[in-house]
Structure 1
Amino acid sequence: MKKFLTLALITGFFVLNAQETANRFFYELTFKPKKDSSKLDKVMAVLDITKDKSIYRDYTMVAQDSILKVQVEAMQKSGQFKDLSKTITMPKFSEKVYKFYPSMKVQYTDRVANGFTPMNIGYNEEIKFNWKIDNQKEKIGDYNTQKATTEYGGRKWTAWFTSSIPFQDGPYKFSGLPGLIVKISDDGNNYSWELKGNKKVENFNEIPYIETVMPGGDGGKVVEVSREKFDKTLNDYKKDPMASARPYLKPEMMSQKMPGSDQTIGDMMKDAEKRMRDFYDANDNPIEISAAKAKK
């Protein structure tokens, strides 16, 4: 009976066209960006669940997608360049985490540069969380939850899940509990996610508009590499975001002005490099500290 009830609940979540609808869960992420500081920061993240996978990411760019679409189309129509970085809010995190159902195989992806073209790289991971479910229960927001603990990435985690939402999923890479994770945090309060709401997204498109118009235009296409190669590639990119583009930056090209703007290509590249360096310098406290130690 319980099995049939769970199936009925899952079916209820996908009462509309499953290929065009996603269930979006909003998580407030509170995190400590600097390991030698007690200062905390916050950002909204989302877990989008479709019939065959889930996608976890920073919600900042997704939330601005319709605004960016209007601005990009206006640029295309006028033929004049506009520096969108001055009008949009940049995300705190650039990675995406996919979990493919029913195996729950994880694919972790991020973006690096290949010359002037952004490129998605990612690694696959089979994770078997060793959850220890406790009898302790707690009301968190509107949800009746139960406690569970595990260890992952060099940290000890405490999660609170609800069986009233029958997805064995959660923020970041976490999954495998008999219900959706409502809250999860490590024992040092470096990272803590808490579910704040959910809604159905009709005509769901996992690729934001801005990614479809970037150079390359392949949106979600991922170049799969080993975890070791991924870590090295991303670490090298963080150290020098313009390394792959620099050989093409000839003086005559750098002095050219952007269409309809007084800004030169050289100015634009310098601004872009500063933004990337500031982005990566802002956080030296990774979620997975064991992976960070392995890179040293």
Structure 2
Amino acid sequence: MKKLSFLFLLFVQFFINAQSQRFLYEYKIATDSTNRDSVIVEMMRLDVLPKGSKYYSQNVYMRDSIMDSRLKKHEFVKNANGDMMISNEGTPNGVIEHKVYKTYPDFKINFINKIWPDFYNQTDDRKMTWKILSDKQKIGKWDCQKAETYFAGRKWTAWFTSSIPLQDGPYKFRGLPGLIVKAINLNETISFELKGVQNIIKQDLDDDFEKQINATPVTYKQYVKLYKNYLKDPIAGVRKAYTDKVLQMYDESGNLIPQAKALKDYEARAREQLKKNNNALEPDLLK
């Protein structure tokens, strides 16, 4: 009985300590399913806190922190046409803009993403049902066990470790009896892998867990509709910005580009980019 009580106390102590830990995941995605060399690699953070967890890009956080600091210090520079702006020179290159919040103990999910020019806070109530298998594998320094699930239009294989008793993981993954160390899709074009664990330094903590930035709340169905509208007309936001007279485009010499030409060129680039970004993390969004 004493031994069981001791083990229980160890588990509780680990869980308490884990509330202030940061798990660093390497996220890889081949954005073009026809070209496996089109890989984006970005380090993502999973911050585990008393009320829940937050998953976000390390470089995007650092970039935004630097830009915010320059704004507060009024560190402006002139662009090619003489307008004052905040320079992004010297900031980390981050491209993964989405964030995922999970609350404990119910694991309610809020997904924050930008459909230009607005941020949306999407509640996601979809369940994640796992099949735990007997396969074992050592990944990094963690002894892991295999599990499989089908979620958001993809079959996923995950490896979790019971040595870190947290039912959490990267992105929206959760619900296994241990932290998810690695997750990979069926055709191996998308993966998440745990690379390190850190104690969270207070001054390096993204403090928007409560406010979850100024994002418009939407349901999953509403978000799908917004996303499909974006695919049909990827420059709707840019067109509106022109109408509202809050946006103008200039060439490399600082000359104003006529609105019609600017929109035409921008749309051509946007649609070409969409063709290349055809390996959606959640294919269900396209149905």
Task: Measure how far apart 1:189 and its partner are.
Answer: 0.5
Structure showing greater relative contact order (alpha-carbon pairs closer than 8 Å, 6 or more residues apart):
1
- Cα deviation 1:42-96 (Å, max 9, x = unaligned): 221111111112111222211334533454345x156752453555444332211
Aligned residue in 2 for 1:249: 245
2:19 maps to 1:27: no
Aligned residue in 1 for 2:123: 124
Aligned residue in 2 for 1:106: 109
Q: Secondary structure at the match of 1:108?
A: strand
Aligned residue in 2 for 1:174: 173
Aligned residue in 1 for 2:48: 49
Cα distance in 1 for partners of 2:111, 2:86 equals 29
Q: Secondary structure at the match of 2:66?
A: helix
Aligned residue in 2 for 1:225: 218
Aligned residue in 1 for 2:277: 283
Q: Secondary structure at the match of 2:221?
A: helix
Cα distance in 1 for partners of 2:223, 2:229 equals 10
What TM-score, normalized by structure 2, do the two folds share? Answer: 0.78
Task: Measure how far apart 1:176 and its partner are.
Answer: 0.4
Taking a change above 3 Å as real, the CA distance of residues 248 and 12 of structure 1, as seen in their structure-2 partners, is closer
Question: Would the aligned equivalents of 1:34 and 1:282 in 2 still touch at CA under 8 Å?
Answer: yes
Question: Would the aligned equivalents of 2:77 and 2:87 in 1 still touch at CA under 8 Å?
Answer: no
List alignment gaps of at least 5 residues for structure 1. Answer: 15-21, 209-217
Taking a change above 3 Å as real, the CA distance of residues 248 and 222 of structure 1, as seen in their structure-2 partners, is closer
Cα distance in 2 for partners of 1:87, 1:266 equals 28
- Cα deviation 1:153-191 (Å, max 9, x = unaligned): 222111111111121101111000111100010110021
Q: Secondary structure at the match of 1:243?
A: helix
Question: Would the aligned equivalents of 2:60 and 2:96 in 1 still touch at CA under 8 Å?
Answer: no
Q: How many residues align?
A: 266
Task: Measure how far apart 1:40 and its partner are.
Answer: 4.5
List alignment gaps of at least 5 residues for structure 2. Answer: 79-83
Taking a change above 3 Å as real, the CA distance of residues 97 and 9 of structure 1, as seen in their structure-2 partners, is same
Task: Measure how far apart 1:206 and its partner are.
Answer: 3.4
Aligned residue in 2 for 1:17: none
Question: Would the aligned equivalents of 1:153 and 1:288 in 2 still touch at CA under 8 Å?
Answer: yes
Taking a change above 3 Å as real, the CA distance of residues 266 and 24 of structure 1, as seen in their structure-2 partners, is farther
Question: Would the aligned equivalents of 2:77 and 2:85 in 1 still touch at CA under 8 Å?
Answer: no
Question: Would the aligned equivalents of 2:71 and 2:86 in 1 still touch at CA under 8 Å?
Answer: no
Question: Would the aligned equivalents of 1:44 and 1:60 in 2 still touch at CA under 8 Å?
Answer: yes
Cα distance in 1 for partners of 2:256, 2:10 equals 60
Q: Secondary structure at the match of 2:240?
A: coil
What TM-score, normalized by structure 1, do the two folds share? Answer: 0.76
Q: Matched residues, percent identical?
A: 28
